[in-house]
Structure 1
Amino acid sequence: MDLSKLEFTALIALKADIESEIKHREVEEKFKAKKQIIELARAHGLSVEDVLSGKTATARKPVEVKYRHPDDSNLSWTGRGRKPAWVQAWIDSGKTLEALTI
């Protein structure tokens, strides 16, 4: 189709028709995609809620505490991440980290 040969009003009408068709097809494509997503989820034993939640089927087990203060059982540390202030103070006082091991 050679658009340069169309009248201005015909171009405007064509533009409106194209925008209308795009909206119509967008609705159809979204419906098809939604149907495919639901079918794929069901084929893998998932509900749509499972897929949308982003959570995995298996929950992670919390990391167990590896170190505990001998005088205050509320002070504990898994050994991961930055050392808590109480652990650093313990080490700075000349005591060993191994002494805190549970």
Structure 2
Amino acid sequence: MEELLKTLNNIRSLRLLAKEIPLEQLETIFKKFELVVQERKEEEEAQQLVLAAHQEKIEKYKELLKSEGISPEELLEVMNLHRFNPSQHKKRAPRPAKYKYTDLDGSQKTWTGQGRTPKAIQIQLDKGATLESFEI
């Protein structure tokens, strides 16, 4: 693709390529290329019209707010009330411990049952103990 763009963008390469292609085929390619360029222009114009209409609506609503005495800050405040606000989000309470065990250092520890099994419990489980024997 990049090589094709280099060829199409260089007049010398185009002239060299044009010498190798019959004139009828070159004219067909030219017509197709013109059609593609025209379609692209129409798409760009349509997109510009949509953007202009959108901007016009924004200006219309700005004027309407101004005439009604509503400030943009007030409107934003009302709009933000309905959005998710992380600072107002309540964190869930930590899970209570389900299991109690003595770790390898000899100190008492607890485990919620979530995540990876603590090494001290896993060693005991491998020896044949049951998880229920560690329940609080």
Under TM normalisation by the shorter chain, which class is it? 0.3 to 0.5
TM-score after normalising by structure 1: 0.48
Determine which structure has greater relative contact order: mean sequence separation of CA pairs < 8 Å that are 6+ residues apart, divided by chain length.
1
TM-score after normalising by structure 2: 0.38
The answer to which structure has the higher helix fraction is: 2
Larger Rg: 2
